Amino acid sequence: MQKNAIIDAARDYVIAQYQQHPRPNLVYHNLVHTQQVVQAAGQIAAHYRLQDDELAAVYVAAWFHDAGYLLGEGSAHEENGAKEALQFLQQQQAPENVQSMVQGAILATKMPQSPHNLVEQIVCDADLSHLGSKEYSDRNKLLRHEMELTYQKDIPAVKWLNTNITFLTEHHYWTDYAQTLFKQQKEENLEKLKKKLEKKTKEAAEDNLTAITATPGAGTSDTPPATFTEKKKKDKDKEKSGKSERGVETMFRTTSTNHIRLSSMADSKAHIMISVNSIIISVILSVLVRRLEDYPNMVIPSIIFLFTAVLTVIFSVLATRPNVTSGTFTKADIEKKDANLLFFGNFYKMHLEEYQWGIKQMMDDSEFLYSSMTRDIYYLGVVLGHKYKLLRISYNIFMFGLIISVFAFLIAAIFFPVKA
């Protein structure tokens, strides 16, 4: 109850501070941003199931982390916010450990971030959660506008994009949960920034070229200088190569993931068949067989049912039975690029040094690497095809055997009843 009371009081206090100290230039570091950070902090904290004091510290720190912007210079807003939070917690007679955790979490958000425990990591990740959100572009525009209002000067687009690309590239989330939650969208946001920078740089280069050619005596023709043309061509080739490599990596990653997911689904289906029919076999052998003397007309249907269950189990087991391979490769295999070092069955009997040597040879040869990845996906598909074929046979046996068994039981009960 005390925990919730402190969090609610912190919320009311910070909201009141924003209302009492309006700052029109704070178009980014405003109440909306604070509320978003609180929401992100709560989402991350819920994953780790913190104790009451730690959870209260996370929420209070999230509410106060930017309150310092209302109290003085933005460059010292973490220190001012931590002091304000401490005064608030003392008024609320909060435990000293909560006061210490809140101060540490707010100060840890100062760039470069330096969290030392889970509470500080959660607040730091929540503060920059927008880097991995779909609202990043809009929030980034507000941040740029705020900085322009604060320093009373325009920020060139290319400079702003370069700064943000560097920041996103060097930034990393501290908690495992935030990395999982925000990583993919953050990478997409980074790619969008790079594309914008490329576009802006190209436009600037074209403007410069136009200015040069338009200047009297700048040249004797409209043809761009050879060095500029060559540089542009190299940049385009480099960009094309980078996109191609990323596309290939995405293709391999997606295909491998799909194969593994399908294999897992097949194993689950086989497990269902094995479990269901094992129960059927147990019931038939333990209960039905002992009653066949009293119901001789049920002998043939029972045999059909038992035979169906046994065959189903056999093919289900065959579908999931692992195939043991040699587990070794030779230097000749590496030289001929015949070994697939990505599959454990080709190296599990090897010494670590030999495997490391083989991996190094593969990494130094992109053709060998892509060939190994292609071979790995191919054999995953072959195994998957064999597995699904056996699984289909198992399901067909179960389906048709069950139908035949039911009809056999009905015929035996109707046309060959046991005489009293």
- Residue 55, both tokens: 């959870």
In-domain check, residue 312 = yes
CATH number for the domain harbouring residue 86: 1.10.1300.10
In a shared domain, residues 191 and 277: no
Buried residues in 77-101 as b, exposed as e (16+ CB within 10 A): bbbbbbbbbbebbeebebeeebbeb
Q: Is the pLDDT of residue 396 over 90?
A: yes
Percentage of the chain exceeding pLDDT 90? 12
Q: What's the mean pLDDT in 16-37?
A: 86
Residue 235, pLDDT > 60, answer no
Query: Mean pLDDT across the chain, nearest whole number?
Result: 82
Residue 219 lies in a domain: no
Q: Which of 15-19, 72-76, 95-99 has the lowest mean pLDDT?
A: 72-76
Residue-wise pLDDT for 189-225, tens only, equals 888 888 888 887 877 766 665 655 554 544 444 444 4
Residues 192 and 296 in one domain: no
- Same domain as 157, residue 45: yes
**161 shares a domain with 262:** no
Indicate if 7 and 139 belong to the same structural domain.
yes
With respect to residue 402, please indicate whether it lies within any of the assigned structural domains: yes
Confidence grade of residue 178 (pLDDT, cut at 50, 70, 90): confident
Predicted local distance difference test score (pLDDT) of residue 238: 54
Residue 52 scores a pLDDT above 80: yes
Residue 243 lies in a domain: no
Considering its fold, how many domains does the chain have in total? 2
**Cβ atoms of 145 and 24 closer than 8 Å:** no
Q: Of the residues 156, 176, 200, which one is the last residue of a structural domain?
A: 200
| Pair 144, 267 in one domain | no
One domain for residues 190 and 273: no
User: Can you read off the two tokens belonging to residue 213?
Assistant: 């050619």
Mean pLDDT score, 94-104 = 88
pLDDT for 218: 46
State the average pLDDT over residues 89-106. 88
Q: Is the pLDDT of residue 314 over 90?
A: yes
pLDDT tens for 62-76 read 988 888 888 877 778
State residue 404's pLDDT score: 94
What 3-state DSSP class applies to 365?
coil
pLDDT digits (tens, 9 = 90+) for 114-140: 888 899 999 999 999 888 888 888 888
Residues 242-289: tens digit of each pLDDT: 555 667 777 777 887 888 888 888 888 899 999 999 998 888 888 777
Nearest CA among 408, 406, 390, 398 for reference residue 307: 398
Q: State yes or no: pLDDT of 319 exceeds 70.
A: yes
Task: Check whether residue 117 and residue 259 sit in a common domain.
Answer: no
Q: Which range marks the domain in which residue 172 is found?
A: 2-200
Domain contains 166: yes
Query: What is the pTM assigned to this prediction?
Result: 0.50
Tally of residues, the chain: 420
Residue 312 has pLDDT above 90, yes or no: yes
Q: Is residue 215 part of a domain?
A: no
- 401 falls in which pLDDT band (50, 70, 90)? very high
Among the listed ranges 6-10, 107-111, 324-328, which one has the minimum average pLDDT value? 324-328
Give the residue from 156, 174, 200 where a domain finishes: 200
Does the structure show a pLDDT above 50 at 9? yes
pLDDT for the residue numbered 221: 42
Q: What is the pLDDT of residue 170?
A: 87
